[in-house]
Structure 1
Amino acid sequence: MTEAKSHIMELRHLRYFIAVAEQLHFSKAAEQLHIAQPPLSQQIRQLEQEIGVPLFHRTRRSVTLTTAGEAFLEEARKTIAQAERAIQVAHQAHQGEIGHLEIGFVSSATAEAIPELMQRFHRQIPRVAIGLHGMFTVEVVQALHTKTIQAGLLHPPIADEELTLQTICDEPLLVALPEHHRLARQSQVIITQLKDEGFLTYPRAWNPGTYDQAIAYCQQAGFTMRVAQETNSMQTTLGLVAAELGVALVPSSCRLLRTTGVVYRPLEGKPPTMTLALAWHPLHITPPLRQFIAITLDYAQEKQALSQV
């Protein structure tokens, strides 16, 4: 049994061979390759010696491919094409144009930020696969450290100095009411009018900043917020509001969710704002993440400009 010989050849040998095979003339091929004819002829002979079969029939008047040469030409073209493809893919990966990106997000972001950012990202970077994961703020923080996700949309403040945060927007809080609620006909609601209401909110452990903000707002108005029920998503919260199981303080973008049976009313005076921010770990930046950060920053600047109009 003959042991298979290991062959090592360079891509330039294949390119030289293809040029000669296409021109069927060493001088023309050398001119095309911008090299002298003798070194080209020598490289082709070395290639034939390396693979152990003749690739060309040579006479004084003509050069033609052998049967082995014709078969080798087809595979050589494939190899060169694949090598060029590999180079292209490497550049695309370096630029963040291909790959994947895992994003965690708080449920309030589904009203506006996530749809807008996903549309922009897909339009600009269509070949990066996106994985979306609904989470609470504390889960986003944990997932960024474990590299389960590379980017997170969350509600600050967070007690974590290792992560980088970029504010996307600051949204004033509104009150979400059942459509037949006694206050639903008012153009705006005074926070003290809600002192006897049951509030729907997330558990404090999942979004401590948001929870404490709502508690403090009510306390400043002279009453303690009574939690009627804790929920696990903005959609669930609004569904329970529609079922008349309580009211909720929500960021203004939630109006875009248009939940049947729910009305939104602004709060009189200067209600607190809820911040939505993009978070990432500066030591875990990938090219697709870099692209996503840039797109998010552009979106945030547009949001800020519109808020100042």
Structure 2
Amino acid sequence: MTALAPAAETFAKGRDFAAWLGLTPLQRSTGGKQKFGATSKMGERTLRRLLVIGASAVIKQVSRRGVPCDVKRCPSNSDLILGDAMVRSPRISLQQLRALVAVYDEGGFRRAAERLNTSQSAISRTIQTLEAELGVPVFERTARGVKTSSVGHNLLQNARTIVGSLDEISVKALTAIRGEIGRLRIGYNEISIRTFLPKVTARFHRQYPNVDLRLVSQATSEMMPENTAGTISRGEVDIGFLVGPVVDDDLESFSLFEDQMAVAVAKTHRLALRVSVSASELKNEHVLLWSTEPWQIYTRRINNICRQAGFLPRPSIIMQDNESAFALVEENIGVVLIARSVAASYSNRVAVVPLEGNPEPFQIFAAWRKDNTAPVLRNFVQVLRNEEFQADQGLMPGS
């Protein structure tokens, strides 16, 4: 191996590679000198092919020792250039490598054929084609079966790595096609996270544990604004749960359930023990409001309800989150009109009373881009469609 650098300069000295492979294509002339001849056990064509098989592994060993070696790949094809000689790379197929590994592992052609679900003659032809391409046998046939030749042994190590890697890639590709791996980004509003979404997410995760889920809290006005593309249309989330109707032509959607508007009051409030209340009874109450963004879905509904009841709320206290709103309600500073499912989460702190006539209900939709064909999204939608929903509570009890 120490003489490998000059051996790579010309093809004539390339026979060192064959010696490394455990083969001796050398003959002795009458003068006692070694020479390479066309009538040797392996001819010139054989040695050329052997050079390619051994070159990569040998060059790596030499490079680690710091010995320069003038071997490179031809830029126009898969052949190798060794010094001033060009050597054609053998055309080896994955089928041939699979057959090589199977015959070695099973100890014979018959059991290899059973493993690969093919005929013994097909395996034999595949190995013969491989040997013809290499110009040397990869197996030695004996009465007890087969064993690898020197070339076959070296080729087998790389074949096992290649086949194993490709099998792993195939498995990952198949699981991706089935939607069993990947990532799903879910945009959700407060109604969905307080009703059905946790259970749906849990069911999906149990069925597809290798899918990464990214849940992002967003208002309906962020996922589907009125005059511009929202996070769903822009592809920032794969599916969104929002208040409908869904009017974007680029989105596919379906309705899940309806949540009604309710009023939250302090437990000591005059309306706290009522079964229901009409909007007109709130005329003299301090109706708390949210800032326009991103709570405009609530602000618009509250204004519509109050307007139909003959008054408009006074915007003297403006809030940005539910926690602030219910803290003020708890102290009897005002009342809040809000989705019943959200108010129910604070029922230990405030009283929740339904509004008569169910004005301005919240119709909850699932929406996603029509051109989003991701298998993980398809599976999630299927899990969602299999759920049973009921109005005002999300999932059916016990589901």
TM-based fold match above 0.5? yes
Which amino acid letter does the alignment assign opposite residue 335 of structure 2?
Answer: V
CA 1:9 to 1:244, structure 2 compared with 1: closer, same or farther past 3 Å?
farther
**How many angstroms does 1:148 deviate by?**
0.8
Q: Is the 8 A contact 2:91 2:133 kept in 1?
A: no
Q: CA contact under 8 A between 1:171 and 1:251: conserved in structure 2?
A: yes
| Cα distance change on mapping 1:127 and 1:237 into 2, 3 Å | farther
From 248, 252, 265, the equivalent of 2:340 is 252
Among 87, 104, 112, the residue aligned to 2:187: 104
Equivalent residue runs for 1:168-183 within 5 Å: 168-183=256-271
For each residue in 1:139-170, what CA deviation from the matched residue of structure 2 results, as whole angstroms up to 9, or x when unmatched?
A: 11211122111111111245533323321111
2:385 paired with 1:302: no
CA shift in 2, pair 1:199/1:174, >3 Å? same
The AA in structure 2 aligned to 1:278 is A
Q: What corresponds to 1:129 in structure 2?
A: 212
State the alpha-carbon separation in 2 of the partners of residues 74 and 229 from structure 1. 75
Secondary structure at 1:175's aligned position in 2?
strand
Matched, 1:64 2:151: no
120-129 or 155-164: which moved more? 155-164
Higher RCO by CA contacts (8 Å cutoff, separation 6 or greater): 1
SS at match of 1:145: coil
Aligned to 2:97: 14
CA-CA distance at 1:273 after TM superposition = 1.4
**Given the alignment of the two structures, is residue 34 of structure 1 paired with residue 119 of structure 2, yes or no?**
yes
Cα distance in 2 between the residues matched to 1:190 and 1:27: 84
Counterparts of 1:83 and 1:46 in 2: how far apart (Å)?
Answer: 24
- Report the alpha carbon displacement of residue 230 of structure 1 after superposing the two structures with TM: 3.6
Task: For residue 35 of structure 1, report the CA deviation from its aligned partner.
Answer: 4.1
Which residue of 2 is the match for residue 186 of structure 1?
274
**Change over 3 Å in CA distance of 1:136–1:232 after alignment to 2:** farther
Aligned mates of 2:129, 2:331 — CA distance in 1: 81
Q: Which runs of 5+ in 1 are unaligned?
A: none
Where does residue 131 of structure 2 map in the other structure?
A: 45
Larger deviation, residues 64-73 vs 120-129: 64-73
CA displacement at 1:79 relative to structure 2 = 3.1
How far apart in 2 are the matches of 1:54 and 1:239? 84
Q: Contact (CA 8 Å) 1:58, 1:64: kept in 2 or not?
A: yes
Mark the runs of 5 or more structure 2 residues left unpaired by the alignment: 1-68, 73-79, 81-88, 225-229
After superposition, the C-alpha distances for 1:93-112 in whole angstroms (9 at most, x for unaligned) are 22222111111122232211
Deviations 1:13-54 (A, max 9, x none): 1111012212333465457641426514413414655xxx86
Q: Deviations over 1:63-120 (max 9, x none)?
A: 3235664565455344333323322322222222211111112223221132122112
Distance 1:114 1:7, change over 3 A: farther
After superposition, the CA RMSD in angstroms is 3.2
The 1:106/1:79 distance shift into structure 2, 3 A limit, reads same
* Alignment partner of 1:222 out of 300, 304, 310: 310
DSSP-derived class of the 1:275 partner:
strand
Of 164, 169, 174, which aligns to 1:81? 164
| Stretch of structure 1 that moved more, 240-249 or 282-291 | 240-249
Residue in structure 1 matched with residue 244 of structure 2 by the alignment: 156
One-letter amino acid of the structure 2 residue matched with residue 43 of structure 1: T
Question: Match of 1:276, SS?
Answer: strand
Q: Which has the higher helix share?
A: 1
Aligned counterparts of 2:235 and 2:334: Cα–Cα separation in 1: 37
Give the percent of matched residue pairs that are identical in Structure 1 and Structure 2: 27
- Of 172, 175, 187, the residue aligned with 1:92 is 175
Q: Which residue pairs with 2:54 in the alignment?
A: none
Offset from partner CA, 1:166-208 (integer Å, 9 cap, x none): 2111111111122333322333333223222233343345354
Distance across 1 between alignment mates of 2:130 and 2:91: 14
What is the SS of the residue equivalent to 2:183?
Answer: strand
The residue correspondences of 1:135-154 to structure 2 (distance < 5 A) are: 135-141=218-224, 142-154=230-242
SS in 1 for 2:294: coil
Amino acid at match of 1:182: R
Name the TM-score, length of structure 2 as normaliser: 0.66
How many pairs were matched up?
Answer: 305
Q: Is the 8 A contact 1:173 1:271 kept in 2?
A: yes
Deviations 1:274-309 (A, max 9, x none): 11111112123322122222222333x433698999
Larger radius of gyration: 2
Q: Structure 1 residues 46 and 232 mapped into 2: Cα distance closer, same or farther (>3 Å)?
A: farther
Distance 1:306 1:268, change over 3 A: closer
CA contact (8 A) 2:101 2:159 kept: yes
Does structure 1 conserve the Cα–Cα contact (< 8 Å) formed by 2:341 and 2:393? no
